[in-house]
Structure 1
């Protein structure tokens, strides 16, 4: 019997949708009215908002019954993120940390976090990333995606661009060989690791073992790439080149350490940016006046990226745990209590953002919480912003870009890892 060949890109979309399903639970696709009501009534809420909607929560991924409160106001969430000594991050590793040998920067605290982050930081700083726009990010987008899509006049922006493009660009910056199968395998394995936490025991019985296999496959695939890079001896201006030259108090990283670090970075190397690009395009296409505003004035592209990330962030929630008896928002919090931070709610807090539901490019901005804040702010933030800006600028050049009426209207969903399942569009050829 003939074997059915699955398109690797279709497999990536399937893995991506599994994550969306897991983080949607029984929550409304549009949670913002719920946030508004809860924030006004009880902004420091006893209980876990994600668990209440059958969604895996980093406040208690392993369902141990850890006491949890949920914060919904900007000022409370900002205060927690700015105090990493008293509100610690180690619980973030409970969910899928085991699949990557607990090597997660987001789950490290104190000196360990600061030390490792300082060693890895340089290739990710804004000045280094901005150099890549014309040399790497834009060429990858235009030559491998836009030039192929433009004559078609139609696409699913999720499948055809938002999913493969940031992964392809980031993997090139890692210093990986340009191998389509390699890219798609690593990307699918990374998404499978992220998909591990599930509240349905029957689904978790599949996803957790699958994540362990995927995590090992990532390491086994990355290690020979690292070894071949070192053997070649050509230290380039990419992430592998940087890691091989890092001096840690007289020591350098081994190939095995570098492979473990790279695997950790792969977990966030594309899929979150995919969701942010897709969310951005749905919001702009739903607000054609704003789309035309930014099309007419491309200096607004960075503002459009930030404002769409504020209004509907991909990472809707993060968690911390009280290192001692604490107080937040006038409420006592006992040591060991987890706090779930609703970033999505904070981003529409009317105490901070005027007319918060509106997509407004000239909005006076506050510190954006969508990448986290404080010492744990996302290390890949500047790469994600650059990829989103380049993608938006290119899509604005597609004439009369609009939703494809032959398909259902895209729906952004999930209380965490928010995103649409597809973004079907048309443009004039």
Structure 2
């Protein structure tokens, strides 16, 4: 059973992350639209205007920075990994996490992805769904919440289930006390950088301490699993067994990969599902339509990832001079790719501010695009689909609590509602 007290530390770290990247506007989309009228590429980093820390500025102002605002510009930046390198992430997250896959390019990235991708095959997904995802959500959350008739489904549901699921999927020993600490460490990795130099130093120190603690927690488990040499469905075992072009993963590489998964599991899935629930429940007729026809759920998830991309910016650095949308960008320039802006580009998505679950437009970029498409995307989508199905079945007549302020999705980066006050019969 998960209690509200058990999510206190994780909730504090989640709230701190939200405050850090909230910015000076609640709704950035009108600003994106106005800026895009001048072109899909903007000189400078729009996050500076919003008062939000940027990973594109990892070099501390020593590079020119450009912001990609249009769908075509962002898609080009994500597809052309030779020109728009992910190595800039090694200057921030890489300092803590080592040779992370999200910061690799070219042959190194091809081989690393070839080693990791088979662990997420369809058979693994089916087994995780039945053995971990459904039981965790039903037993630890839906069954506990049902008698109450009301709750904040952010703090008491969406904040908790993704981290408990990834804890089970990875294959950690069952330990109720450690799950909360585990989630807090994962969120602290994301909290830096900061705009204020003193806070930046403190956040980086906290992130480093979290990585050290997580590695100390993870490495003995991976080493023990290798010694046991027993088949199993968990992610650690699958990663230890994978072989690609005659190469296998070391214990350290398994640990580092798991460390890159944790922030997404502790943060991105929470926001994505919270946004999904808020968007549907603000439209009761649509919510009922999806409840009656569950085949609409995947489309609702994809439209949520378009309309309210939880992680709205990605950073790249140019390896050569390149022209994008008429703007010449010098070699070694940082690129702040506004994925949230691209997903609201009116030249690609008709009526982009409308929530339309049957859209047939070009793919949204909420899970990334191209060679760095999110490896954990199938797991995240499956978690959200299962969670929504179980809410439909377990909390009848789910609706927004009329006695408190309705949920509003806010923020520049890491967007989401601050609460999900709900009632059910």
Q: Report the TM-score range of the alignment, normalised by the length of the smaller protein.
A: over 0.9
Q: 1:75 aligned to 2:72?
A: yes
The answer to whether the 8 A contact 2:318-2:330 is kept is: yes
Q: Any idea what SS the aligned residue of 2:359 has? A: coil
Report the CA distance between 1:371 and its aligned residue: 0.8
Q: Report which stretch shifted further, 358-367 or 246-255.
A: 246-255
Instruction: Work out the CA distance in 2 between the residues paired with 1:77 and 1:284.
Output: 28
Structure 2 match to 1:212: 208
The answer to whether the 8 A contact 1:96-1:197 is kept is: no
The answer to whether the 8 A contact 1:103-1:264 is kept is: no
Unaligned runs of 5+ in 2: none
Q: 1:133 to 1:324 in 2, by over 3 A?
A: same
Instruction: Work out the CA distance in 1 between the residues paired with 2:419 and 2:90.
Output: 30
Aligned partner (choices 4, 13, 17) of residue 19 of structure 1: 17
Instruction: Work out the CA distance in 2 between the residues paired with 1:126 and 1:167.
Output: 21
Report the CA distance between 1:266 and its aligned residue: 2.0
Q: Any idea what SS the aligned residue of 2:413 has? A: coil
Structure 1 match to 2:32: 35
Q: 1:170 aligned to 2:169?
A: no
Instruction: Work out the CA distance in 1 between the residues paired with 2:111 and 2:154.
Output: 36
Aligned partner (choices 298, 310, 314) of residue 302 of structure 1: 298
Deviations 1:112-136 (A, max 9, x none): 1111111011122455324432332
Q: Report which stretch shifted further, 89-98 or 166-175.
A: 89-98
The answer to whether the 8 A contact 1:276-1:309 is kept is: yes
Instruction: Work out the CA distance in 1 between the residues paired with 2:263 and 2:122.
Output: 21
Q: Any idea what SS the aligned residue of 1:318 has? A: strand
Deviations 1:319-362 (A, max 9, x none): 21111010111211110111211111111111111111111122
Report the CA distance between 1:96 and its aligned residue: 2.9
Q: Any idea what SS the aligned residue of 1:69 has? A: strand
Instruction: Work out the CA distance in 2 between the residues paired with 1:411 and 1:61.
Output: 31
Q: 1:335 to 1:126 in 2, by over 3 A?
A: farther
Report the CA distance between 1:248 and its aligned residue: 5.1
The answer to whether the 8 A contact 1:103-1:261 is kept is: no
Q: 1:57 to 1:127 in 2, by over 3 A?
A: farther
Q: Any idea what SS the aligned residue of 2:67 has? A: strand
Deviations 1:226-275 (A, max 9, x none): 12222333221221111222335555433333223322322322311011
Aligned residues: 421
Q: 1:295 to 1:76 in 2, by over 3 A?
A: same
Q: 1:69 to 1:402 in 2, by over 3 A?
A: same
Structure 2 match to 1:227: 223
Deviations 1:63-113 (A, max 9, x none): 23421111111111111111101111111232332222x232111111111
1:7-406 equivalence runs, <5 A? 7-26=5-24, 28-100=25-97, 102-126=98-122, 128-247=124-243, 250-397=246-393, 398-406=395-403
Cα RMSD over matched residues?
A: 1.8
Q: Report which stretch shifted further, 284-293 or 129-138.
A: 129-138
Report runs of 4+ in structure 1 exceeding 4 Å deviation: 248-251
Q: TM-score, normalised by structure 2?
A: 0.94
Q: Any idea what SS the aligned residue of 1:91 has? A: helix
Q: Any idea what SS the aligned residue of 1:267 has? A: helix
Q: Report which stretch shifted further, 277-286 or 37-46.
A: 37-46
Instruction: Work out the CA distance in 2 between the residues paired with 1:401 and 1:245.
Output: 43
Q: 1:77 to 1:252 in 2, by over 3 A?
A: closer
Q: 1:205 to 1:234 in 2, by over 3 A?
A: same
Q: Report which stretch shifted further, 364-373 or 257-266.
A: 257-266
Q: Report which stretch shifted further, 260-269 or 338-347.
A: 260-269
